[in-house]
Amino acid sequence: MFQFLNPIWLFSAAAIVIPVVIHLWNVRSGKVLKVGSISLIAAASRKSSRSFKLLDIPLFLLRCLLLLLLALLLALPVWQKKLQATKAKGWVLVPKESFTSTYQQFKPRIDSLTKAGYEFHYFNSGFSKSNLQQILLNPKDSLKNQFSTSNTPLPHYWNLARQLNNSVASTLPLYIFTPNKASYFTGSKPQVALNLHWQTYTPADSVITFIHNAWFTNNGDIRVVQGNSKPIGTNYIYSNIRANDRNNAAFMLSTSNGKARVNLPNSKQEPVTIDTTKQNIIIYADNNTTDAGYLKAALQAVSQFSQRNISIKSINNANLVPANTTWLFWLSDKSISNQILTKCQNVFTYERGKPTTVKSWMSNGGRFSTALPADEKVDLFKLINTTNNYDPVWQNGFGHPVLSRQQQDQSVIYHYYSRFNPAWNDLVWSDAFPAWMLKLIVSPSKADVAKYDRRVLSTQQYMPEIISENHTIATEKPVENKSLTHYFWLALIVIFAAERWMAHRTLKITTT
């Protein structure tokens, strides 16, 4: 099929008008006739005449053809031929950031699939196709974009599974090989219509110890939270050290830019800056004074256990919320004003709406709540349904949020769809209540420690839900464009030479 890659240049063919005008606008000069006498010639009025006859038609046609060929050449002519696409038996997908360890783990299986005709693709956004043998020959050049810094975002395998569902046909066999770290599977489990075979492994660095947090206590000691993450979960140990104890064998103290820092000996972790701030917690109860009493008792237990510099106050007037409030617990059915929001770093607010009766439980374990021990689950009786898509913090047994997190400007808003009341749940009667508050107001968010999270998921937990739905991806056949410009260049040179020869020949005949 004849095509032009740059067809806009075809408009330049209008230049063919130039030789047409030149050849048509040809005024022939009159001839001089010699006569013996003009006495017998009657006088006549003077008339002028012009000849619009085409002269030198071959030269005219050559010049028009020359301009036409030039326009076609600028339009980049090609001969387009559709190719027969080779149908792959399936895909093998491996994350680029963990290619080396993943390939070594599943080398026999990956090699056998690629030899059987399966295409190799990276399990990353775009699913780019690559040659496995070339990667193995030059791994440094092929894997330049590996995750090499601690600030690099973690992969999101479930999001990639959703993208894959929209990229390939449901019948194409897909073999995915990845690590099974829980931090790589974020959000909700997807539903896909894919012929999916997903295999995972536990990375070699499956155990890690790190500094989770550190702060100064009221008496000047340093309270250090040391995390220990394993495939089965992450636990934390609290320790107190003297600020002037430089010979402490368990921790290393240092200063940088006037700030005290703490780290573990021989650790690759960046030292953690010791927090010196004071937490101002305000409770606005409005008509829910009973709820405020339960909450205040839990927060006081948090203050005693954590030994943080925490101030807890209850107010009855919303206008008395001070500036630079660390936490505001808004236990009111009234809406909170933007003026108050600007004064607070974190706001815990009762969500308004019609409560529904439920028979379930609630957990502060997020998406992994089903793997938590029973003492971290409390019975749930009432819940306000929501359609918000904020990040879930606490969830019920059906996976619906009980507490969700929203970032709004400089404040973080926590929407609570229940109440601190025994009529709504058993949280206020549970021994876990202070621990939930501790995890909420003292511990940093999951994103801060995700790189140290060594928890793993089982096949049942990470495998997407396979649904019965057949879909095909419409793909165009590959085409091959063969350039024709060299043929047009050859024709242009021949026509130009012929035009010059004929123009020179015509000139000689005329002068003769």
Q: What residue ranges do the domains of the chain occupy? A: 2-26+51-83+481-511, 91-205+457-466, 208-273, 279-452
Strands 479-483 and 208-216, sheet pairing? unpaired
Residue 275, classed as helix, strand or coil, is strand
Residue 388 CB: number of other CB atoms within 10 A?
A: 11
Residue in 342, 339, 308 with CA at minimum distance from that of residue 324:
342
Scan for tokens 């374990």, then name that residue.
365
Strands 91-94 and 173-179, sheet pairing? parallel
Q: What was the pLDDT predicted at 368?
A: 35
**Residue 198 Cα distances to 68, 107, 193, 240, 362, angstroms:** 60, 15, 14, 45, 31
Instruction: Tell me the pLDDT tens digit for each residue of 104-140.
Output: 999 999 999 999 999 999 999 889 888 898 888 876 6
Phi, psi of 340, rounded to the nearest 5 degrees = -75, -40
In this structure, are residues 243 and 256 in contact, taking their beta carbons and an 8 Å threshold? Answer: no
Residue in 310, 311, 348 with CA at minimum distance from that of residue 329:
348
What share of the chain has pLDDT > 70, as a percent? 82
Asked if the model's pLDDT at residue 299 lies above 90, the reply is yes
Strands 272-273 and 259-263, sheet pairing? antiparallel
- Among 6-10, 30-34, 425-429, 436-440, whose mean pLDDT is lowest? 30-34
Q: What was the pLDDT predicted at 486?
A: 86
CATH superfamily ID and name for 279-452: Class I glutamine amidotransferase (GATase) domain (3.40.50.880)
Residue 459, classed as helix, strand or coil, is helix
In this prediction, residues 278-284 reach a mean pLDDT of 93
- pTM (2 d.p.): 0.54
Q: What was the pLDDT predicted at 447?
A: 43
Q: Which residues contact 46 (CB under 8 A, 6 or more apart)?
A: none
Residue in 153, 99, 166 with CA at minimum distance from that of residue 126:
166
